[in-house]
Structure 1
Amino acid sequence: MRITRVLSVALFALGLAAGPAAADSSPSASPSGDGGAPTEAGTSFRTATEIEQGQTATASGSAGDYLYWSFPADTGQRPTVKATVKLPEAHSGSEKWQVDVYDGLRRRQACQYGAQTRTAARGASSVELSCTLRTVRSWSEPWADDPLPGTYYIRLTVVGLAQSDLGLPVGAEVRVDSKDVGGSAAVDGSLAKPLVPGIAVTSAGEDDDKPGSAVLSAIDPDDGWSSGWWTDRWVWTGIGGVLAALAGIGGYALTRGSGRPSRVPPGA
């Protein structure tokens, strides 16, 4: 009876511990609406238009322009960038469009999968591009180019174009969504600060609670930067400890016997 009660309490604790882990492994929620989404794009890294994950940003430009957006990505997220280019009816030949993603150090990040470059055939009204990055890590070696938490840049441009189509008006739509990978991609260590442009360029009076911070990117994740200290590995480590304790209790119960001394026949 005592062992049954211990097992019941342990199973209840396992259920409470597994709850947060299941919640963390689900895809990150996206805003329900696109109210206030940007309707223009920047023309360089410094003028990139800031967007939030889950927003659909639009912009108008000309064939041959470089269009830039920026968005925040935190530890454990696997961002997917999707871009749609709406072509004019008057374009004469095939156009090859490409979407590139750069991190806060302006290092080009490789796409894990997706159609990063596509050619729009003659007469096509639009072309769709996508790029799924590797999972953002909380820490990396200085020589590595692993995705790290901070600001990411999207650059959309045409890389193959007929001379007669140069300068024709085009429209663009860009959206970023992330999947929360969780502790399966976690690593030990964390950055002191996320890779946000200008985060280390602050005024001398900031410590005195005076305004004047020179941060170039003002957009952060909705729940703030995680800094890489929490992953669901903590939960599964706790579950492993509970299971080990249960195994020890069960083994002890099986090997100790009834605990009563054996009867000795009289006169023995």
Structure 2
Amino acid sequence: MRITSVLRTARAAALAMTAGLVLLGGAASPAVADSSPSAVSSEDGDAPTQAGTSFRTATEIEQGRKATANGSAGDYMYWSFPADAEQRPTVTATVQLPESTRSASSTWQLDVYDGLRRRQACQYGAQTRTAAQDADLVTLTCVLRTVRAWSEPWANDPLPGTYYVRLTTTELATADLGVPVSAMVRVDSKDMGGAAAVDGSLAEPLVPGIAVTGAENTDSDEDSTAVLSSLEPEDGWSSGWWSSRWVWTAAGGVLAALAGVAGYALTRGSGRPSRVPPPGA
């Protein structure tokens, strides 16, 4: 009888555990859905067709969209994109070289800077490549570290905000300066989830000029529009307030409670005194 009771209790605990996990998964699924800009699809006709020549004139692009530009070998090409906490951006640039024979090979480099214009190291990827004299194109890739919601002031960790992409040549023959080239840049992100969450958040994302946004103009009723980057994630800046760690913490609490109930059911007594053998038995 006791074994049957224990089995029934364990079965009830397992059913309750399954129901709790289903309810947690259903409640959390809308919040942990991919809300990064890379999930937004767009037509190629809406993609930018030019690049900036400095940080201040960088062309804004959204994640998941392709941007193209025509330029000359030896020039700097700049783009900017937003990246939020728990995202790991991947920047890919393809340079189409002219079909005419060039005088020598050329080396191209892709650099990424954050909102404070600090150069961010690539976690992996071919950030610098040399194109042979007869090459038609060269492809560069930079996979950044995961964007953190908060970091120490002395650290160089990537933080939420605007990121800049710079494409240029580092080694080029003098005779090839000014040769027309075309470039294509695309930024995608992978959501790293609660594994990359930290206990902290920024007051504001690192977007140039955001500190003076909305400042009242004493001479008129118009608000200041000093923000140099207008793009942001589709659902706004999360600043790390939500992560899947909340789901797993709640699930761990439910599992701990169910384990306690099951352990109590397995170790409790039957409620009847144990049989005492008669004297002389």
* Aligned match of 1:253: 265
Cα distance in 1 for residues equivalent to 2:112 and 2:271:
68
**TM-score normalised over the length of structure 1:** 0.91
Cα distance in 1 for residues equivalent to 2:188 and 2:135:
26
In the TM superposition, residue 260 of structure 1 has moved relative to its aligned partner by 4.0
| 2:226 counterpart letter in structure 1 | A
| 1:88 counterpart letter in structure 2 | P
Find the partner of 1:40 among 47, 50, 70: 50
Contact kept in structure 2, 1:92 and 1:165, CA below 8 Å? yes
Q: State the Cα RMSD in Å.
A: 2.5
Find the partner of 1:233 among 245, 253, 270: 245
Deviations 1:117-167 (A, max 9, x none): 000001101000000000000000000000000000000001110111000
Q: 1:13 to 1:213 in 2, by over 3 A?
A: same
Unaligned runs of 5+ in 2: 1-7
In the TM superposition, residue 209 of structure 1 has moved relative to its aligned partner by 8.3
* Aligned match of 1:138: 149
Deviations 1:194-253 (A, max 9, x none): 0000001235327x9853332111000111111111111111111111111111101100
In the TM superposition, residue 256 of structure 1 has moved relative to its aligned partner by 1.0
Contact kept in structure 2, 1:25 and 1:182, CA below 8 Å? no
Find the partner of 1:93 among 104, 117, 121: 104
* Aligned match of 1:58: 68
Cα distance in 1 for residues equivalent to 2:23 and 2:151:
32
Contact kept in structure 2, 1:21 and 1:232, CA below 8 Å? no
- 1:9 paired to 2:16: yes
In the TM superposition, residue 263 of structure 1 has moved relative to its aligned partner by 7.3
* Aligned match of 1:184: 195
* Aligned match of 2:41: 31
In the TM superposition, residue 74 of structure 1 has moved relative to its aligned partner by 0.2
The aligned runs of 1:96-175 (5 Å cut-off) are: 96-175=107-186
Find the partner of 1:80 among 85, 90, 112: 90
Cα distance in 2 for residues equivalent to 1:165 and 1:187:
48
Unaligned runs of 5+ in 1: none
* Aligned match of 2:3: none
| 1:242 counterpart letter in structure 2 | V
**TM-score normalised over the length of structure 2:** 0.87
Contact kept in structure 2, 1:74 and 1:148, CA below 8 Å? yes
Counterpart of 2:85 in 1: which secondary structure? coil
Number of matched residues?
A: 265
- 1:242 paired to 2:254: yes
Counterpart of 2:154 in 1: which secondary structure? coil
Contact kept in structure 2, 1:99 and 1:155, CA below 8 Å? yes
Q: 1:2 to 1:32 in 2, by over 3 A?
A: farther
Deviations 1:10-42 (A, max 9, x none): 211113324647994879635253341100000
* More displaced 10-residue stretch of structure 1: 75-84 or 20-29: 20-29
Counterpart of 2:250 in 1: which secondary structure? helix
| 2:110 counterpart letter in structure 1 | V
Contact kept in structure 2, 1:76 and 1:180, CA below 8 Å? yes
Counterpart of 1:200 in 2: which secondary structure? helix
* More displaced 10-residue stretch of structure 1: 20-29 or 255-264: 20-29
* More displaced 10-residue stretch of structure 1: 1-10 or 61-70: 1-10
